Amino acid sequence: MANPTLQQPSFLLANLKADATTKPLLQRCQDLVKIIDEYPAKELHLIFPWLVECVFGSLDGVIAGWNLRLLHSRSNEYNIVMDFLNPSGPMMKLVYKLQAEEYKYEIPINYLPGPVKACIQEGVLPDCPLFHNKLQFPLSGLLTLNIAFNPFEFFMFNFAYCLISPKNYPPGQYGSSTDSAYFVLVDTYLKYFLPTEGSVPPSPFSDSRGSVSAPSPRSSSVSFASYGIHSPSLLKHHIFHQPSVNADPAAQEIWRSETLLQMFVEIWLHHYSLEMYQKLQSPQVKEPFSPTEEHVLVVRLLVKHVHAFSNSLKPEQLSSSPSAHSHTHTSPLEEFKRVVVQRFVHQKLYLFLQHCFGHWPLDASFRAVLETWLSYIQPWRYTGEKPNPQPDQNRTVPEKWESFVHENLLMYTKLFQVFLNRAVRTDLVNAKNALMVFRVAKVFAQPNLAEMTQKGEQLFLEPEHVLHHRQPRGYLTPGQGGSYLSSRQRVVTDMVFKVKSHVYGLEGQDCQYKQMFGTELRGAVMKLIQIIVQARQTAKRISDHSSEVAANKSFLSWFGLGASDLNHSFPGAEPEETGEYLKKTHEFLDRALENLCQIFKLNQGQLNQLISNLGSLEDDGNSKQLPDCVQSENGLILTDLGRRQIINGLRRFDIHYQGDPELQPIRSYENALLVRLFYRISSLINERFGRHMNALCSRPDFLGRLGRHYLTNLDSSTKLKHSPMSRHVLERSQRPKLSLRPLASYRTILLLLLFYVFGALLSLGPISSTVLLLAGGFLYGLLMTLFADKLKTH
């Protein structure tokens, strides 16, 4: 940049736009660093929206930006981007520089989360204070409403929206990796602005007033009822009523942490209001938003870090009561940690997970959603303590987490029930699906967790009159003249109130709560156990069959001592159907059964009886039967029962290749030239003598049976009858024809070569050996035809 101080802002923006198409990224970033350092905020203000769009892309997805979701550490530009966007890097320095001057940047409300946009359009104040007092009314003739954000909010909005904006990725590329620049940046920002140790680092930039100014203060009378918290606000002064530049530096800096978290939660999670969620239970309602697997992985990262942030609260602050807390000095960051999960994340995450559980495809990609849920309901995993050497299932959940379980009861009970409905509809023979069932059962089987959950349900089912006689929270301690009994009663009453507020706040006052440990759900668990047992037996049967096929493909089978079924050797079987995966399936389902019995205290004798009953049904030949279907002129048609039998692995068709055996792909053990040559020869013979072959094989006498032995494949026809195919295909496969393809096999060629060498050793010429070979083949066919009926009976 030539003499930047003499350029006008319009020229600066024009030059930057020109450089964006001609200069490499490294040089552009170096120029931007100089510009951010040397130019005043008044001129940087004009390039800021353009620069944000260049980095993160446009909100409508037309401009891709730097493609942070596709940029990986293997790329040469990765380190350049990470240094530029680092929380202490040049880009954030620009944000703070503009923040000091209190500039505003507008975002159309069309890009806001659905519930927020609906509130604004209806003239209702959104529940999140982030959007309060920021509405910009359009000029005359314009219909678009805008939200005015300060520079930090504008930057974080575009960064968060980059995850969900539609992108036109190049073919074969998609953003789902946890080592992408975007994923790493999210992790970096969370660790920087929500630190588990120490405080938020001060701003790297200071203006002439000595500090970066916070946004305009919000009203201190903001209601927090929408967060489901009914206790007095601990954050009214420090967080929501943001301080001036002359306030305590720690309090002045906390607004960045609050803004980042609220922006992430609103953009990534707040796509479903309670009313919208209830409407979505109807299958006729179109989904307003469908998250991707990449989106869910980032949400899980957020959940894990928020837990770690909250759990880093000092023990003395954690144990202090609200009344005592108000008289002691506590940093704003510590106050933020105390309420961050319940006030900011809990409600919106529940609706987000509820939607994912109900609408996600029944495949292995659901694992991302599942692990996000399991991460949230196990906050004790993110305490920063050294991991216990005991296995997970032997670790007792500490009593101090009981209040968390109660205040998040639906996260445990309702989502478990929804998962149960998914599990009975998935193919549990698949190892990836079996692993998900095992993961859930393993988590809920942790000692103390089932008891805590059951106690939470009992608190919710307490009679309503308990609330009406609830005592004020400001009660006397036993040392101040109060009784231990009354203190304990008040604690129980307080927990009843919290549990009921939690359930009614999420499900509505008229919700019909279904107990996780009730009779109805116990029946659903028994149904799942039955499906697990059936899937175990199916997996074992398929695994045994795979072992038999593998044994037949040994070295000896190459010499003709094993089966050579072309259908079973066809490459392309799914890896989940291999023996190794099926062994994992069996292991996962076995352990899931043990954990389910432990959670719901099921009688082991009844379980063993159920397993033996199902096993006897399998032994009676149930597994050999076809799925339930009806016969039509076009073949077999599955019924609804038959579809469920296939999904659960109870029955299946014996699928075989249904086309012309002569046109199957050339195998690795066949000579391609000979296969094509013999196919042409056999096709000419079949076309020339086809009628004579049909006439011969149609005869009921001995010659007809001999012709059918050489010219038809009776075993293949028998197998094909058990496969869903049309009658015309079956008839075509049974037509008599000559097949010379077996002669193209290297095994057959080797055996013939050995036969002629052996004949030469016995002084037999090639012609004599050929005549002997044909005679032997004819005699073999003659004997097989004569004794075919006797062989079938045996």
pLDDT for res 660:
73
pLDDT for res 200:
85
Strands (E) across 130-279 are located at 135-136, 146-149
Dihedrals phi, psi of 238, to nearest 5 degrees:
-80, -35
Dihedrals phi, psi of 246, to nearest 5 degrees:
-90, 0
Closest to 695 in 3D by CA, of 708, 682, 683:
708
Closest to 326 in 3D by CA, of 343, 315, 310, 338:
338
Mean pLDDT of 35-43: 92
pLDDT for res 124:
85
Mean pLDDT of 581-591: 88
Closest to 425 in 3D by CA, of 292, 516, 513, 527:
527
d(CA 169, CA 71): 12
Cα-based distances in Å from 310 to 195, 227, 241? 10, 17, 21
Residues 182/69, Cβ–Cβ less than 8 Å: yes
pLDDT for res 221:
35
d(CA 389, CA 443): 17
Q: Of the given ranges (269-278, 325-334, 527-536), which has the lowest mean pLDDT?
A: 325-334
- Whether 625 shows a pLDDT value over 90: the answer reads no
Structure tokens at 491: 């604690």
- Whether 352 shows a pLDDT value over 90: the answer reads yes
pLDDT for res 566:
41
Q: Which residue has the higher pLDDT, 95 or 544?
A: 95
198-222 pLDDT, tens per residue?
A: 888 877 655 433 334 444 444 333 3
pLDDT for res 251:
57
634-673 pLDDT, tens per residue?
A: 667 888 777 777 776 667 776 666 667 788 888 888 999 9
d(CA 488, CA 508): 29
d(CA 746, CA 755): 14
Containing 420, the helix (H) or strand (E) segment is helix 409-423
- The four Cα atoms 303, 250, 153, 106 give a dihedral, to 10 degrees, of 160
Residues 385/432, Cβ–Cβ less than 8 Å: no
- Whether 385 shows a pLDDT value over 90: the answer reads no
Q: Which residue has the higher pLDDT, 508 or 551?
A: 508
State whether the Cα torsion 284-288-292-294 is positive or negative.
negative
Residues 203/96, Cβ–Cβ less than 8 Å: yes
pLDDT for res 210:
36
State whether the Cα torsion 82-86-91-95 is positive or negative.
positive
Q: Which residue has the higher pLDDT, 54 or 727?
A: 54
- Whether 278 shows a pLDDT value over 90: the answer reads no
pTM for this prediction: 0.74
Residues 483/432, Cβ–Cβ less than 8 Å: no
Closest to 93 in 3D by CA, of 184, 155, 160:
155
Residues 461/606, Cβ–Cβ less than 8 Å: no
Number of Cβ within a 10 Å radius of residue 345: 23
- Whether 118 shows a pLDDT value over 80: the answer reads yes
Task: Tell me the average pLDDT of the chain.
Answer: 78
Residues 180/77, Cβ–Cβ less than 8 Å: no
Mean pLDDT of 608-627: 62
pLDDT for res 648:
66
395-437 pLDDT, tens per residue?
A: 799 999 999 999 999 999 999 999 999 999 998 989 999 999 9
pLDDT for res 516:
94
Concatenated DSSP letters of 748-778: HHHHHHHHHHHHHHTT--HHHHHHHHHHHHH
Percent of the chain clearing pLDDT 70 (strictly above): 71
- Whether 275 shows a pLDDT value over 80: the answer reads no
